[in-house]
Amino acid sequence: NAGVTQTPKFQVLKTGQSMTLQCAQDMNHNSMYWYRQDPGMGLRLIYYSASEGTTDKGEVPNGYNVSRLNKREFSLRLESAAPSQTSVYFCASSAGGGAGETQYFGPGTRLLVL
Amino acid sequence: QKEVEQDPGPLSVPEGAIVSLNCTYSNSAFQYFMWYRQYSRKGPELLMYTYSSGNKEDGRFTAQVDKSSKYISLFIRDSQPSDSATYLCAMSKTGNQFYFGTGTSLTVIP
């Protein structure tokens, strides 16, 4: 059982380049999330999708777009990368049936923007 | 002001010690409280979940929530080297959008 998978594991971009971070879960979860983790800032929610077909902004959505492709997949796109977007990005999922559920996290994508 | 404050440490204790980790928060609407453990270069994994105030125990781990003081704690008894990790607190009003602390780095020395 793979759980939550993320690709790529590591990426280097130049300022202004675009890229898409991929996330997939095989637990039949309804809800999916994208976080970024920075030293001294903790985990911050970028976007989430409570169910297939819906997305909502989190705490730090500027500079990002998301697509809930289907129930399994939730992608995060950086249209024009900036050095401030250098971070570790985590995707997570939860069953989505009620509040306070366990979120299962992927292994993360380390992004460096030069 | 951050929604959630957590002392980053680092915290270093001998094996077998009792560890106390804490977070404070400012939003009185928070009612879902969680503790995650994160090993180096891994994603966080849920340790404890508490709804509203009170204590919850799971093996060597005890979570406490004091809503009147806006303060939550995680206690680890008989700490082991395998407990060495970063511990993150998280909390939510609705259960959908969670606010995380910055994490406390813990090292348990054999």
Give the SS3 label for residue B3: coil
What does the pLDDT look like over A43-76, one tens digit per residue? 999 999 988 889 999 989 999 999 998 999 999 9
Q: Cβ A45–B103 below 8 Å, yes or no?
A: no
**CB of A47 less than 8 A from some CB of B:** no
Ranking A64-68, A105-109, B68-72, B97-101 by mean pLDDT, the lowest is B97-101
A/B interface, count of CB pairs below 8 Å: 59
Read off the pLDDT of each residue in B84-95 and give the average, rounded to a whole number: 90
- Residue B9: how many CB atoms within 10 A of its CB? 15
- Tell me the C-alpha distance between A91 and B32, whole Å: 20
> Does pLDDT of A8 surpass 80?
yes
Identify which of B102, B101, B96, B25 has the alpha carbon closest to the alpha carbon of residue B67: B25
Nearest to B43 among A31, A59, A106 (CB): A106
Nearest to A42 among B34, B45, B100 (CB): B100
